[in-house]
Amino acid sequence: MDLHGFYTGTVFNAYEYLGGHLTEEGALFRTYAPNAPRVSVIGDFSGWEELPMARAANGQFWALAVPGARAGMKYKYRVYRPDGSARDRCDPYGFAMELRPQCASILWDLSAYQFHDGDWMAQRTPGLEGPVNIYELHAGSWRRRGPGEAGWYSYRDLARELIPYLKERGYTHVEFLPLAEHPCDDSWGYQNSGFFSPTARYGSPDGLMELVDLCHQNGLGAILDFVPVHFAVDDFALWQYDGTSLYEYPNAAVGVSEWGSCNFMHARGEVRSFLQSAAHFWLEQYHFDGLRMDAVRNLIYWQGDPARGENQDGLRFLREMNRGLKRLHPTALLAAEDSSAHPGVTAAPEEGGLGFDYKWDLGWMHDTLSYFQLPPERREAAGGLLTFSLQYFYSERYLLPLSHDEVVHGKGSIPARMPGPPEEQLSQARALYLYLFAHPGKKLNFMGHELAQAGEWDFQTALDWPSLAQPERRAFHRFFRDLGLTYRAWSPLWAWDYRQDGFQWLGEEQGRAGVFLFLRRDGAGALLAAFCFLPQAAPARTVPLPGCGGLELLLSTAWDIYGGGEDSSAPRLLPVQDGVAELPLPPYSGQLYRLLPPEAAGEP
């Protein structure tokens, strides 16, 4: 390893030097603990008796070769503190760990699993000009066999059932909530203790590799939620690793995050090398197709608060990490979960930007859900909540998320937040989701949205699959499938997402009578999206469409097959006469039309 690069924060492969590595004779252990007076290895290979390590490299590292150590053996480092006390630690660079509450690292041969996804890896892209429809998933609560640990699906169980489910519904990617090892289930994986260890909750590292590999073999990308801001406070992991604040700030004013965890000190080069090596590790060793970076706002500003000023160390870390990841993995997808208004999140680092491919549009999410939570009588005056997003949309490459954060902490499920009885809530939810897929920007939905769950997500239980016994929920489930397939099939919904000529409002009074009309287009053609977000039908809207030969209805949220009141078997061609169309606007509904060429005007 390049020691100068390690200390200056330019290393991306620190895990190749640090950690426990299998050799022909046994294993070679190395750890970074510059302020420890002594360090030992303990593990299965020594009967958990101490094997003293020797100082290595410049004296701030510790190393020991252990003959006879084998894959699958557990181990820890006993790190002595400057005050003479000692703590047993998991390996910060360990490749596998025990299931909580146990916390030993496990020797693992990362080369044992052989991938078979060469064609996928050679052809993948970040999807800027393609369809991106992401299914966000918490691996422990998609499906379960029963309560507790016995009910968890393994990585291989997910591969068997999840992949065909997503393929049938038009998804392009699955995004996993953090899978790096974490001690507390309640953190959903966002407070990590093993940044290089896939959680043992769902099986072995090989099992996760197989899951990603099979996603690729079936045309699905796999994205990992990555947490570069903070880490778990547990004293077997990174906290005070060598008896000093090695990874965290020594000052609690900036060292303790809003979640009660420890903030990484990104001013330290060795911390930056640790984190960007972990990011590279998941892309390189597990073939993940991208990373969603959590809590980017907290790297841009001190504690995520613009009033405290920009965190220049955090900004430098993001720029250089993304620059390096794109050099190593040019086709990987990098997305920022960032609620700030900081400019240039998706601009290139060479232009002063942060180098992400996408930024989550949390403003769109907030405004859209705020609109749909309004009582109907207040919506007509609130149309600006939906039109505002197009005033700033082309300043970044935005991804539209309706994520897990929108169905937790007392917010309720998405349909349950809408006014009216359950039938009207489902009608509004269908219209909302068509609006999401018709709006410019890539898409992300959390698992369970397709079921229109009545309650919030609970990480301790499975999604409400039994609700599909109800006809109205089956109809909604079918709608969500058809919506995803329609999105994939029609390139105007995604090819020109980030070109201003890919979108056009129709008319100047968006929101009057709850009606919104716009075009999506690309070089292959154009689609018209029409919405009425009020409980009464709006008068038919006259729309000028010069040069259009007619409209073909591709999908309506009001069709009876989805639970609406409109006949789905009725003719789906709408005439355009003298360049003008009359659009019917059923209550609480959305329609997606294809603009036909002029020669289609005479077709029946």
Q: What is the pLDDT of residues 558-571, one digit of tens each?
A: 999 999 999 999 99
Give the Å distances, CA to CA, from 597 to 141, 360, 548.
Answer: 47, 35, 6
Across the chain, mean pLDDT equals 96
The CATH number linked to 581 is: 2.60.40.1180
Other Cβ atoms closer than 10 A to 443? 25
pLDDT > 50? residue 549: yes
Query: Is position 136 within any domain?
Result: no
> What is the mean pLDDT of the segment spanning 161-184?
98
pLDDT > 50? residue 420: yes
Q: Indicate the angle between helix axes 312-328 and 269-285, nearest 10 degrees.
A: 30
Cβ neighbourhood burial of 171 (10 Å; 0-12, 13-18, 19+): buried
Q: Among the three residues 74, 106, 138, which one is the final residue of a domain in this structure? A: 106
Q: Which residue has the tokens 């006879």?
A: 68
Helix or strand or coil: residue 240?
coil
- Among 511, 529, 533, which residue's Cα sits nearest to residue 519? 529
The CATH number linked to 98 is: 2.60.40.10
Q: For residue 371, give the amino acid letter.
A: Y
> What is the mean pLDDT of the segment spanning 355-375?
98
Q: What is the pLDDT of residue 604?
A: 43
Do the Cβ atoms of 121 and 287 come closer than 8 Å?
Answer: yes
pLDDT > 90? residue 184: yes
Do the Cβ atoms of 268 and 276 come closer than 8 Å?
Answer: no
Q: What is the pLDDT of residue 155?
A: 98
- Among 53, 1, 50, which residue's Cα sits nearest to residue 31? 53
> What is the mean pLDDT of the segment spanning 205-209?
98
Q: Tens digit of pLDDT for each residue in 216-267?
A: 999 999 999 999 999 999 999 999 999 999 999 998 888 899 899 999 999 9
Q: Among the three residues 106, 125, 140, which one is the final residue of a domain in this structure? A: 106
Sequential DSSP letters for 521-554: EETTEEEEEEEE-SSSPEEEEEEE-TT--EEEEE
Q: What is the pLDDT of residue 53?
A: 98
- Among 148, 145, 153, which residue's Cα sits nearest to residue 176? 153
CB environment 309-334: b (16+ within 10 A), e (fewer): eebebbbbbbbbbbbbbbeebeebbb
Q: Among the three residues 71, 106, 141, which one is the final residue of a domain in this structure? A: 106
- Among 214, 216, 210, 207, which residue's Cα sits nearest to residue 289? 216
Q: 267 Cβ partners below 8 Å, 6+ apart?
A: 313
Which element (helix H / strand E) includes 322?
A: helix 312-328
- Among 388, 469, 487, which residue's Cα sits nearest to residue 433? 487
Query: Is position 209 within any domain?
Result: no
Query: Is position 581 within any domain?
Result: yes
Angular region, 514: left φ>0, alpha ψ -120 to 50, beta rest: left
pLDDT > 90? residue 146: no
Query: Is position 184 within any domain?
Result: no
Length of the chain: 604
- Using CA atoms, how far apart are residues 158 and 447, in angstroms rounded to an integer? 13
Task: Evaluate if pTM is beyond 0.85.
Answer: yes
Do the Cβ atoms of 96 and 205 come closer than 8 Å?
Answer: yes
Give the Å distances, CA to CA, from 355 to 175, 178, 322, 434.
Answer: 20, 21, 6, 30
Do the Cβ atoms of 192 and 182 come closer than 8 Å?
Answer: yes
Tokens representing 163?
A: 């992949």
Query: Is position 48 within any domain?
Result: yes
Give the Å distances, CA to CA, from 60 to 39, 197, 328.
Answer: 11, 24, 28
Query: Is position 189 within any domain?
Result: no
Q: Tens digit of pLDDT for each residue in 102-145?
A: 999 999 999 999 999 999 999 999 999 999 999 999 999 999 99
Distance, CA of 544 to chain centre: 40
Query: Is position 46 within any domain?
Result: yes
Q: Which residues are catalytic?
A: 294, 337
Query: Is position 518 within any domain?
Result: yes
Beta bridge partners of 144: 152
Q: What is the pLDDT of residue 601?
A: 57
Q: Tens digit of pLDDT for each residue in 292-313?
A: 999 999 999 999 999 999 999 9
Q: What is the pLDDT of residue 508?
A: 80
Count of structural domains within the chain: 2
Q: Tens digit of pLDDT for each residue in 47-94?
A: 999 999 999 999 999 999 999 999 999 999 999 999 999 999 999 999
Tokens representing 268?
A: 């330290």
- Among 95, 200, 212, which residue's Cα sits nearest to residue 158? 212
> What is the mean pLDDT of the segment spanning 368-374?
98
Do the Cβ atoms of 25 and 33 come closer than 8 Å?
Answer: no
Structural domain range at position 52: 3-106
Q: What is the pLDDT of residue 602?
A: 53
Q: Tens digit of pLDDT for each residue in 483-507?
A: 999 999 999 999 999 999 999 999 8
